[in-house]
Amino acid sequence: MERSGAQILMQILKDEGVDTIFGYPGGAVIDIYDALAKTDIRHILVRHEQGAVHAADGYARASQKVGVCLVTSGPGATNTVTGIASAYMDSIPLVVFTGQVPRPLIGNDAFQEVDIVGITRPCTKHNYLVGNIEDLPRIIKEAFHIARSGRPGPVLVDIPKDVGNNYMDFKRAPKKIHLRSYNPTYKPNIKQLKKVKDLIKKAQRPVILAGGGVILSNGSKELTAFARRTKIPVTSTLMGLGAFPGSDPLWLGMIGMHGTYRANMSTGGCDLLIAIGVRFDDRVTGKTDAFAAQADIVHIDIDPTSIRKNIQVAVPVVGDCRVALENLNSLLDKDDLPDLEDNRKEWLNLIAKWKSTNPLAYEQKDSIKPQYVIDKLFEITKGQAIITTEVGQNQMWAAQYYHFDHPNHFITSGGLGCMGFGLPAAIGAQIACPDKLVVDVAGDGSLQMNIQEMATAVQYGLPVKVVLLNNCYLGMVRQWQELFYDKRYSATHMEHAPDFVKLADAFGALGLRASKPEEVETVLSEGLSSPQTAIMEFLVEQTECVYPMVPAGSPITEMLLV
């Protein structure tokens, strides 16, 4: 049957199980939008293409499906770049379709032409310019395959207008994808895993460091079983929060620049570090030479480039985190472990001491402490909400004070650290999980970066909640200036901001404000229980800093405490 490129695209999207697209139309994709209108695929019209990509990102994380975006050429395409870069850094599976000018015009500096394939080459897992309609089915199939397999990531497909509106004889897309140069290793080498097992038997002071890879590979259950069985305490990176239950006695809290005292100290003092699905970002390791300096490091990751990139390891294991943990668990089943209860006693006691002497702490006095807001948010939602964050202090407080018992409940721009992420990501997560409470923990700086997406949330009746910690500062930069730049607050004071309550109202959402500590609970209760999209603004202590803090480049055991 003769089908247009746009119709073929729709059919393959259906084959791939896509039921939601985040996008924004324009001239180069008008044929695709015309074909879209004839399907039952839900289209979410965002207010800015960056919002579309973040929303698809939030959707992908909450649903564990591939997020899909559709935008036009030129500015539509360039506006997606930040979102794509964020998804790339956090290994989130996305397929982004961009329109392109008709093929005869490519390279002519045509209206709304941009070389988006060239621009996104370094921040996509792979990308394509569709040169012929005959290649379109294969390319779309490959794009989804590449996005979701191995270490996931965003794939961009650039479709010239005259590919979308040309016709070809088409029945169905190829079922099997064969890429001779792309075969991710899922099954780890069992010899390596036996070495890991032997190290576990020997270790006196072991620690597990879990990362986003555990969540992406769906390995939380296996990780929890592994840690409980071996009685090894667990810390995680920002991206790994939720991979291990935050209420478990073995939980150490987050590691790194704003990690807990006990997580950083136990990493510094451990004799075995089992790192699973992490990439040893500088915010995690601090000074690399001093990182886990007494430990044999085991590193399990599906991406060989992550291994030995920043940290030398004793036992590298390339493979899927969940499969590796499954295999490790069954190796342990077949073995006699020494008396772990006795063995770990001293180590776990020391950790307990670190926890009691240097807990995460703040004193709630006259003005609202941002930590207190998150504490209360955790309490009221019983830890069951999906939390998205913006970037900066709000993100760190959310990570420290909201405790995650489940994976895929903490959605944040970890690698790129992209302000403006939280609100659109919350929209995506809410669409993926309509019955869940979805809360964006925001700062006044970040929220204003993609505030236009409030209109999207209201248009689609999405009851996302924004918990706005308003300190009238770009707080994290202000904190660095206070601590390391002699309090020269260069360009970090947001002296003027909109009235967020009125702004929420203008968007057709609910706006609430708390300016005193005693109002916090009421505002949270009212806002969270409302069926509406809501902004809850908390006028927080303006100069509050995030502690503990490891100055950039220092060993993570050298923390500034409260």
Partner 1 sequence: MDQTRHVLTMLVDNQPGVLARVVGLFGARGYNIESLCVAETIDSQVSRITIVTRATEAGMEQIVKQLRKLINVIKLRDLTGSKAVQREMALICVRAKPEYRAEVLRIVDIFRCKVVDVGLEHYIVEVTGDAAKLSALIKLLMPMGIKKIARTGTIALFREPK
Query: Judged by CB under 8 A, which stretch of 179-187, 293-301, 387-395, 507-515 contacts partner 1?
Result: 179-187
- Please identify, using beta-carbon distances, which residue of 106 and 337 lies nearer to partner 1: 106
197 has catalytic annotation: no
**Catalytic residue list contains 176:** no
CB of 146 to partner 1, least distance (A): 7
- How many alpha carbons fall within 13 Å on the CB side of residue 32? 31
122 is a contact residue toward partner 1 (CB under 8 A): yes
Question: Helix or strand or coil: residue 35?
Answer: helix
Collapsing DSSP to helix, strand or coil, 467 comes out as strand
Q: Tell me the residue type at 395.
A: Q
Over the Cα atoms of the chain, what is R_g? 24
Q: Choose which of 108, 176, 178, 181 interacts with partner 1 (CB under 8 A).
A: 181
Of the residues 175, 176, 191, 305, which one makes contact with partner 1 according to CB under 8 A: 305
CA distance 91 to 154: 7
Cβ count within 10 A of residue 287: 17
Please pick, among 64, 112, 452, 459, the residue that the annotation labels catalytic. 112
What is the helix, strand, coil percentage profile of the chain, to 5?
40, 20, 40
- Residue 308 lies near partner 1 (rule: CB under 8 A): yes
| Chain centre to alpha carbon of residue 17 | 22
- By CB under 8 A, tell whether 488 contacts partner 1: no
Q: Quick check: 117 binds partner 1 (CB under 8 A)? A: yes
38 or 309: whose CB is closer to partner 1? 309
**Of 52 and 146, CB closest to partner 1:** 146
- The yes or no reply on residue 536 touching partner 1 (CB under 8 A) is no
With CB under 8 A as the contact rule, which of the stretches 83-91, 126-134, 483-491, 510-518 interacts with partner 1?
126-134
DSSP state of 27: G
The reply to whether 116 sits near partner 1 by the rule CB under 8 A is: no
- Kindly state the number of chain residues that form the binding site for partner 1, as judged by CB under 8 A: 18
Of positions 14, 187, 309, 345, contacts partner 1 by CB under 8 A: 309
The answer to whether residue 129 forms part of the interface with partner 1 (CB under 8 A) is: yes
Q: Which is nearer to partner 1, 130 or 423 (CB)?
A: 130
Q: Nearest-CA neighbor of 100 among 83, 87, 117, 86?
A: 117
- Known catalytic residue: 257? no
Please identify which of the residues 11, 50, 142, 161 carries the catalytic annotation.
161
Write the CB contacts of 435 (distance below 8 Å, at least 6 apart in sequence): none
- Of the candidates 89, 449, 476, 559, the residue annotated as catalytic is 476
Task: Determine if 196 is a binding residue for partner 1 (CB under 8 A).
Answer: no
The residue (of 37 and 179) whose beta carbon lies closer to partner 1 is 179
Is 419 an active-site residue? no
Is 186 one of the binding residues for partner 1 (CB under 8 A)? no
CA dist list (Å): 474 to 194, 328, 343, 445: 48, 45, 47, 6
Query: 429 Cβ partners below 8 Å, 6+ apart?
Result: 58, 59, 61, 62, 386, 388, 411, 436, 438
Region of 2-10, 27-35, 116-124, 335-343 interacting with partner 1 (CB under 8 A): 116-124
Comparing CA positions, the residue from 529, 474, 475, 526 lying closest to residue 501 is 526
Q: Helix/strand/coil (H, E, C) string of 95-152?
A: EEEEEECCHHHCCCCCCCCCCHHHHHHHHCCEEEECCCHHHHHHHHHHHHHHHHCCCC
**Burial level of 302, CB count in 10 A (0-12/13-18/19+)?**
buried
Q: Does 37 bind partner 1 (CB under 8 A)?
A: no
Q: Is 289 in the site for partner 1 (CB under 8 A)?
A: no
* Parallel, antiparallel or unpaired: strands 94-100 and 67-71: parallel
For the question of residue 112 being annotated catalytic, the response is yes
* 303 near partner 1 (CB under 8 A): yes
Tokens of 62: 């909450």
Q: Quick one: 26 or 316, whose CB is closer to partner 1? A: 316
Task: Report if residue 562 touches partner 1, rule: CB under 8 A.
Answer: no
Q: Which residues are catalytic?
A: 49, 111-112, 161, 476
Contacting residues toward partner 1, per CB under 8 A: 117-118, 121-122, 125-126, 129, 131, 146, 179-182, 303-305, 308-309
